[in-house]
Amino acid sequence: MRPTNKLYVAFLTRLAQFTECELAKVVQFQKEENQVYRERLPARLRLTPEQRQRLLKYGKPLGKKLDEVITIVSPRTFARWASGETKSVGKKEAKPGRKKTADEIRELILKLARETGAGYSKILGELKKLGINSVCRSTVVNILKEHGLDPGPKRGEGTWDDFVKRHAETLWATDFFSKKVWTAGGLVEFFVLFFINIATLRVHVAGMTPNPNSAWMAQQARNMNSFFDELPERPTLLIRDHDTKFTAEFDAILKSEGVETKKVGPRAPNLNAYAERWVQSVRQECLEHFIVFGEAHLRYILSNYETFYNEERAHQGVGNARLRRFGEKEPPTEIAEGAIVCRQRLGGLLKHYNRQAA
């Protein structure tokens, strides 16, 4: 005997022991319990042929009484089952639909769309180049729409993020931050000019002064042209904000050596996010821990932090590795063996660990 039949027989045996009044209460409870279960299920349940036959077997003998207890389907649907009718009676048998596109082709279509930004027409062309001729235009369009992708091609210059990624290797950003410094004449605010490469995230602190006038800015531009000359790949673009300290002469000196400045929109710090994030790092990890006495002290602190940031610190933005140097394709390889040594800077404020070569 099947397990389900054994349970049903046990249930009937138990029911036979109740009085008629108790039996009515049991039935009422079973109805309410089934209704609770039913309310937690989808509006429509798909039953297998075997499940339908089981319901017919035990439901038919109840006749009209079944209408009072059935909840899994409507009484009318059950009556149609009992009479052998189906919704397809009187209709022609439906023809099988178009064969579903293979998963690997669907993934390829999505890969082409995400990596190139091409519309459905170019994607179809790429598929044909790869010998895939079984996919039609509407299939590509539907697959892209299912995954929230626009079937049309990208128009115009693209997003700011696209621009940054496209130019990352030769794209730099610059900005200022300030620090109050105690001097012989009292508390003086120094302005620090720095540059950051978008691809490597490496930072160069260019200079600091309490008076960043046009002459000082022009000299910094000349210094940066010399610095850029030493790099394996010279920058072509420099992002900066609308700070009035960046003079027309500053831009012109850089442009004379092939570096074009691109101003980000006013009150739009996210467009210069790499520079803004470095300012947050240098403040929180370093400057907020010091009272600075004199320009030399400030220069010493920032020089140590610049070396720590560029050469020693692990960075979440590059997979918790050290930054790669200019001209390198990957970060430096870490030594897998040897004693672990803690290195310190600025009185132990900055610590990092590496393995001592044997």
Domain coverage including residue 110: 103-146
Is 187 in the same domain as 139?
Answer: no
Whether residue 124 is contained in a domain is answered as yes
Within 130-247, residue ranges assigned H as helices are: 137-146, 160-166, 214-229
Reading the block at residue 237, the tokens are: 């673009």
**Residue 224: pLDDT over 60:** yes
Which bin fits 348, alpha (ψ -120 to 50), beta or left (φ > 0)? left
**Residue 89: pLDDT over 50:** no
Which has the higher per-residue pLDDT, 342 or 114? 342
Is 208 in the same domain as 298?
Answer: yes
State the first-to-last Cα distance of the chain, in angstroms, to the nearest integer. 75
The amino acid sitting at 101 is T
Q: What is the pLDDT of residues 176-207, one digit of tens each?
A: 999 999 999 999 999 999 999 988 999 999 99
What average pLDDT does the segment 54-59 reach? Answer: 82
- Check residue 358 and give its pLDDT: 62
Q: What is the pLDDT of residues 296-343, one digit of tens each?
A: 999 999 999 999 999 999 998 888 889 988 888 787 777 677 788 899
Q: What is the pTM of this model?
A: 0.57
Is 138 in the same domain as 181?
Answer: no
The mean predicted confidence, pLDDT, of the chain is 83
Is 174 in the same domain as 319?
Answer: yes
| Residue 185, CA distances (Å) to 139, 189, 283, 296 in order | 75, 12, 24, 15
Is 79 in the same domain as 113?
Answer: no
**Residue 248: pLDDT over 50:** yes
Cα–Cα distance, 72 to 254 (Å, whole number): 77
Whether residue 89 is contained in a domain is answered as no
Q: Tokens 């004449």 sit at which residue?
A: 185
Domains in the chain, number:
3
pLDDT confidence band for 33 (50 / 70 / 90): confident
Is 128 in the same domain as 217?
Answer: no
- Other CB atoms within a 10 A radius of the CB of residue 130 amount to 11
Is 142 in the same domain as 231?
Answer: no
- Check residue 145 and give its pLDDT: 85
Three-state SS for 69?
coil
Among 4-18, 21-35, 218-232, name the one with the lowest average pLDDT: 4-18
- Check residue 154 and give its pLDDT: 61
Q: Tokens 């180049």 sit at which residue?
A: 129
Is 175 in the same domain as 321?
Answer: yes
Helices 214-229, 248-255: axis angle to 10 degrees equals: 20
Is 67 in the same domain as 204?
Answer: no
Is 174 in the same domain as 303?
Answer: yes
Whether residue 340 is contained in a domain is answered as no
Whether residue 70 is contained in a domain is answered as yes
Is 213 in the same domain as 284?
Answer: yes
